[in-house]
Amino acid sequence: MAKIDFGGIVEDVVTSEEFTLAKMRKILARETVAVLGYGVQGPGQALNMRDNGIPVIVGQRQNSKSWDRAVRDGFVPGETLFPLEKAARRGTMILFLVSDAGQMATWPQVKKELNPGDALCFSHGFSVVYGDQTGIVPPSDVDVILVAPKGSGRTVRTNFLNGSGINSSYAVFQDYTGRAEERIQALGIAIGSGYLFPTTFEKEVYSDLAGERGVLMGCLAGVMEAQYALLRKHGHSPSEAFNETVEELTQSLIRLVAENGMEWMFANCSTTAQRGALDWKSRFKDAVTPLFDTLYDSVTSGRETEIVLTANSKPDYRDRLEKELSEMAESEMWKAGAAVRSLRPENRNKG
């Protein structure tokens, strides 16, 4: 492992330079990797592994959009594409990538296909950490391991194709074979990780649930809506409000942060922006810290899990989800966003 200084704290990480593709292929040569689920994370991880020279089979419910997508992506029914149970039966490393609610529903079928020495692999610690609620308790004679890309399934694929890779965490929950760590590190490199950092199943799911509800999605969407509404209340046009709230962030500032860090971005903006941002940063931090404390407590207590599983298990969940997302899309703010995006040069020049 490489030792990297993260702001004065030294961590061990696994890089693709030290854990080479040749080493990865040697370790996985003895495995049959079965990707169960071809929805969100499945396509990116399966395609990256296939492009990296790993024979991959996919398990997916037949007569579904995801099955058809797998066929379009070159997986062949009866050869590299099978119903879920048959793929699990053929696999020695079973990468369980159906949704959290889907894992609960399919676990009895998958569990009975596991053989001693198999590796049960996850990209999220949810089902195992909250096993008292999900009912997913792995048998004692398999490796239970995790590799969690820090990005969407689409980003896993696009970053692989552009050569940048994606950061991923990895963890070992149960090491039956004595090879669990090398298996999961090899899998992490195979799916296109630029580097891997160790964690635990618990820490992965706690940080993931808090992050999604916080800065990555929930907080970000809520703060954007609040600022947009404020500007509109004071007479700013939809175009101006959206550009000052979303477009400048996503098309300019966040890219500078990604490339160089927040302090660099602050140092390279106007002195007026610098002073105001530095003064208000602490006020926003103080305002949201109690809310983040409440969020983290809700995650670790299992309350968020209960909410998710209850909602996702209802027969009308997808209808209600479509309604919620439609309301967001039809809001003035995101209608303005669609108009702004259509005016970008790359979109104006299409066709």
pLDDT at 158 over 60: yes
Lowest mean pLDDT among 27-41, 227-241, 303-317: 303-317
Lowest mean pLDDT among 32-36, 158-162, 229-233: 158-162
Residue with tokens 């298990």: 313
End-to-end CA distance of the chain: 49
Q: Are residues 160 and 63 in the same domain?
A: yes
Could you tell me if residue 20 is inside a domain? yes
Residue with tokens 């160790």: 198
pLDDT tens readout for residues 281-310? 999 999 999 999 999 999 999 999 999 888
Whole-angstrom distance, CA of residue 74 vs CA of residue 77 = 10
Whole-angstrom distance, CA of residue 80 vs CA of residue 59 = 9
Q: Exposure string (b/e) for 120-142, b if CB count within 10 Å is 16 or more?
A: bbbbbbbbbbbeebbebebeeeb
- Please give the pLDDT value at position 346: 77
Q: Are residues 184 and 222 in the same domain?
A: no
Could you tell me if residue 69 is inside a domain? yes
Residue with tokens 């594409």: 81
Q: Are residues 160 and 59 in the same domain?
A: yes
Supply the pTM of this predicted model: 0.87
pLDDT at 48 over 80: yes
Could you tell me if residue 206 is inside a domain? no
Write out the residue range of the structural domain in which residue 236 sits. 211-348
Backbone angles phi and psi of 176, in degrees to 5 = -80, -40
pLDDT at 46 over 60: yes
- What tokens appear for 88 in the block? 């699990």
Q: Count how many domains the chain has.
A: 2
Per the CB < 8 A criterion, the answer to whether 200 and 165 are in contact is no
pLDDT tens readout for residues 118-151? 999 999 999 999 999 999 999 999 999 999 998 8
Q: Are residues 331 and 241 in the same domain?
A: yes
pLDDT at 227 over 80: yes
When pLDDT is averaged across residues 324-345 and rounded to a whole number, the result is 93
Q: Are residues 81 and 53 in the same domain?
A: yes
Could you tell me if residue 242 is inside a domain? yes
3-state secondary structure of 192: coil
pLDDT tens readout for residues 196-214? 999 999 999 999 999 999 9
Q: Are residues 184 and 215 in the same domain?
A: no
When pLDDT is averaged across residues 17-41 and rounded to a whole number, the result is 93
Whole-angstrom distance, CA of residue 154 vs CA of residue 40 = 8
Provide the mean pLDDT of the chain: 93
pLDDT tens readout for residues 90-103? 999 999 999 888 89
Lowest mean pLDDT among 80-84, 207-211, 264-268, 309-313: 309-313
Q: Choose among 223, 198, 110: nearest CA to 148.
A: 198
Which residue, 169, 199, 229, sits at the end of a domain? 199
Could you tell me if residue 219 is inside a domain? yes
Q: Are residues 165 and 228 in the same domain?
A: no
Q: Are residues 186 and 238 in the same domain?
A: no
Q: Choose among 133, 107, 137: nearest CA to 36.
A: 107
Could you tell me if residue 204 is inside a domain? no
Dihedral sign from CA coordinates of 72, 73, 76, 82: negative
Could you tell me if residue 74 is inside a domain? yes
- Please give the pLDDT value at position 345: 82
- The CATH number of the domain where 109 resides is what? 3.40.50.720
pLDDT at 351 over 80: no
Which residue, 177, 199, 221, sits at the end of a domain? 199
- Please give the pLDDT value at position 350: 67
Q: Are residues 269 and 154 in the same domain?
A: no
Which residue, 138, 171, 199, sits at the end of a domain? 199
Which residues are designated catalytic? Answer: 124
Could you tell me if residue 41 is inside a domain? yes
Q: Are residues 159 and 248 in the same domain?
A: no
Q: Are residues 283 and 176 in the same domain?
A: no
Q: Are residues 180 and 121 in the same domain?
A: yes
- The CATH number of the domain where 273 resides is what? 1.10.1040.10
- What tokens appear for 351 in the block? 């066709």
